[in-house]
Amino acid sequence: MKVEQISVFLENKAGRLAEVTRVLGEGGINIRALSLADTTDFGILRLIVNDNEKAKKILKENGFTVGKTNVVAIEVEDKPGGLARILDILYRAGINVEYMYAFVQQSGENAVIIFRFDNLDEAIKVLQENGVTVINGSKVYTL
Amino acid sequence: MIYNEEFETLPREALEAIQLRRLKNTLERVYHTVPFYKKHFDKHGVKPDDIRSLEDLHKLPFTTKQDLRDNYPFGLFAVPMDSVVRIHASSGTTGKPTVVGYTARDIKTWSELMARTLMAGGATKGDIIHNAYGYGLFTGGLGFHYGAETLGASVIPISGGNTKRQIMIMKDFGPTILTCTPSYALLLAEVAEEMGVDFRSLKFKSGIFGAEPWSEQMRQEIERKLNLDAVDIYGLSEVMGPGVAVECIEAKQGLHIFEDHFIAEIIDPDTGEPLPYGEKGELVFTTITKEAFPVIRYRTRDISALYKEPCRCGRTLVRMERVSGRTDDMLIIRGVNVFPSQIESVLMEMEEVSPHYQLIVDRVEHMDQLTVMVEVNEEIFSDTVKNLQQLENKIRKNIKDMLGISTIVKLVEPKTIERSEGKAKRVIDNRKI
Ligand SMILES: [Zn+2]
């Protein structure tokens, strides 16, 4: 049920993000989803790609610091209130969302959103009990 | 003006006779009361009796900061603790400070030397002294304070910080002499300007500035902006505190060393050989009147040169050139001694961090600013902003706890820090001084 996400440390200076996408592109890596969180002096780029191991290797070879985290991909009905319903379920269960971002591709009629939780297993359990579709990793990488 | 006309203008021969007598007494005393010196002298095959002239001083071994550290805290005191009336300390290289002690007579000597210092810098009994050196373990504040009282002047013990309030007090109390670090003097000028206070409307005549490196250009800037005469002072707690040497306001060309209390030498920092007058090298001091904490041939790591040409002020004391650098990598940040190894040990102690780091020193709006750049490796990296910001805060706090200085911590990408021959360059000092 878990999806592996890689994250990259970036200094806040021009061209760094472009550099990451360039080296990954040249290595034949397909970026499925991406989000950048930044502060005034650094940024953290989070990526879902089609080949984690290869992407990590390429990034390290190019001198980037890379981390690996498990996240969850959730199908959200593509209509008003779809996301609110999910956040409400999490809120009621006392589960804290560290961050979230949207997937580029849809899964059929539905949008796909990546969630990062502190307590991943608990979150998955609560979501499934409430009938939310959690997409498994192998499917996400090929969406 | 000269505070102690007799001792500050002695003919060289008479001065040197006093120095030799006091040196012999000191050596005899440390040899018999401080186990370190006995062992140290014995190891080098020299006895106090072997010193028959001032030139013989060269036979004695050097004392280093490491020796002080090895004898932390009171191991080098030459009197029992019940004779010690004051303890001061300065930051050391490994977290432990360097501790020094004073007997009642030492405080009296130091107070006189500071009275001499103040008068050399233009102060008299009738002056009001605005003392913005820090009070506390640091010797600056209390050193000036006691000197001012000994001189008979009025002292405002304002200490450092709260700059706006300092300006208000300057306006209301009308101090005539300013004592602080040179960078703080420039900050005062700036804050006064923001507050619409013109230094020309204040009553300052002169200022005595030290405890950090500064330059001739900075002197001119201070004199122009604060409308006063600025003189340089030198001292270090291991030797006494402030009041080891000071410029005279008449010449402002080199700092007179109070040689009736300290013997100064310049040595080649690599070979340890003494260098002749006029040549640049490492300053070495021997105290010849101190009771509680005498030091023999203490290597200061400060680079200077000595001149013995007579001075127009009438003092016969040798002059040392403004300190132009260090023989080690010590930085002085807002008057606090900082060694890169201290920052390194802070980073090492945080178990998750053993990264490459670099220290960048800038002077921003006249204040020293230390930035610690830390390369983010996989061990310390996290995918959440919160965790990385906590890491930055933790580094900042640990440095503050250890050194008492505020820093900017900046996380950078791997390989950002310049390396030469595989070794990272630890310090970049951008201060224009
Ligand atoms: Zn002079």
pLDDT at B403: 82
Identical fold, B5-328 and B332-429: no
The answer on pLDDT for B330 being more than 70 is: yes
The domain made up of B5-328 has a fold known as: Rossmann fold (3.40.50)
Helices (H) and strands (E) in chain A, counts: 5, 7
Q: What is the length of chain B?
A: 433
- Which stretches of chain A drop beneath a pLDDT of 70? none
Model confidence at B433, pLDDT cuts 50, 70, 90, reads low
Q: What percent of chain B has pLDDT over 90?
A: 75
The answer on pLDDT for B255 being more than 80 is: yes
Determine whether the interchain pair A67/B389 forms a contact, defined as Cβ–Cβ distance below 8 Å: no
Nearest to A75 by CA among A102, A106, A101, A112: A112
The answer on pLDDT for B261 being more than 60 is: yes
- Mean pLDDT along residues B243-257: 97
Distance of CA B34 to the CA centre of its chain: 25
Residues 6+ apart with CB under 8 A from A44: A7, A8, A9, A10, A36, A37, A38, B382, B383, B384, B385, B388
Task: Tell whether A66 lies on the interface with B, counting CB pairs under 8 A.
Answer: yes
- Mean pLDDT along residues B376-405: 90
Residues of B in contact with A101 (CB under 8 A): none
- Mean pLDDT along residues B378-385: 89
Model confidence at B172, pLDDT cuts 50, 70, 90, reads very high
Bigger pLDDT: B405 or B153? B153
Q: Mind telling me how many Å the CA of A54 is from chain B's nearest CA?
A: 17
pLDDT at A138: 78
Q: Mind telling me how many Å the CA of A128 is from chain B's nearest CA?
A: 25
Determine whether the interchain pair A44/B414 forms a contact, defined as Cβ–Cβ distance below 8 Å: no
Model confidence at B351, pLDDT cuts 50, 70, 90, reads low
Nearest to B415 among A42, A63, A67 (CB): A63
Report CA(B254)–ligand 1 centroid distance (Å). Answer: 8
Report CA(B318)–ligand 1 centroid distance (Å). Answer: 9
pLDDT at B278: 96
Lowest mean per-residue pLDDT among A3-12, B260-269, B373-382: B373-382
pLDDT at B424: 62
pLDDT at B149: 98
Model confidence at B421, pLDDT cuts 50, 70, 90, reads low
What is the homologous superfamily of the domain B332-429 according to CATH?
A: ANL, C-terminal domain (3.30.300.30)
pLDDT at B109: 98
Model confidence at B348, pLDDT cuts 50, 70, 90, reads confident
CB A79 within 8 A of CB A15: no
pLDDT digits (tens, 9 = 90+) for A60-97: 999 899 999 999 999 988 888 889 999 999 999 999 99
CA distance A95 to A126: 9
Q: What percent of chain B has pLDDT over 70?
A: 96
- Mean pLDDT along residues B240-256: 97
Interface test with A, best of B352, B360, B411, B413 (most A CBs within 10 A): B413
pLDDT digits (tens, 9 = 90+) for B183-199: 889 889 989 999 999 99
pLDDT at B248: 98
Nearest to B261 by CA among B283, B297, B285, B236: B285
Bigger pLDDT: B82 or B379? B82
Give the Cβ contact number of residue A91 at 10 Å.
11
Model confidence at B389, pLDDT cuts 50, 70, 90, reads very high
Bigger pLDDT: B345 or B106? B106
Residues of A in contact with B373 (CB under 8 A): none
pLDDT at B95: 62
The answer on pLDDT for B357 being more than 90 is: no
pLDDT at B379: 82
CA distance A35 to B132: 51
Nearest to B385 among A37, A65, A66 (CB): A37
Task: Tell whether A11 lies on the interface with B, counting CB pairs under 8 A.
Answer: yes
Q: Walk me through the domains of chain A, giving residue ranges and CATH numbers.
A: 2-69 (3.30.2130.10), 70-141 (3.30.2130.10)
Parse chain B into domains and list their residue ranges.
Answer: 5-328, 332-429
Lowest mean per-residue pLDDT among B87-96, B147-156, B175-184, B326-335: B87-96
| CB < 8 Å & 24+ apart, contacts of B185-190 | B185/B209, B185/B222, B185/B226, B185/B230, B186/B218, B186/B221, B186/B222, B186/B225, B186/B366, B187/B163, B187/B365, B187/B366, B187/B367, B188/B132, B188/B163, B188/B226, B189/B222, B189/B225, B189/B226, B189/B366, B190/B365, B190/B366
pTM passes above 0.80? no
The answer on pLDDT for B335 being more than 60 is: yes
Residues of B in contact with A39 (CB under 8 A): 385, 389
Query: Across chain B, what does the average pLDDT equal?
Result: 92
Report CA(B253)–ligand 1 centroid distance (Å). Answer: 7
Model confidence at B326, pLDDT cuts 50, 70, 90, reads confident
Bigger pLDDT: B54 or B427? B54
Give the Cβ contact number of residue B311 at 10 Å.
20
Separation in Å, CA B409 to CA B281, B359, B365: 35, 10, 19
pLDDT at A29: 94
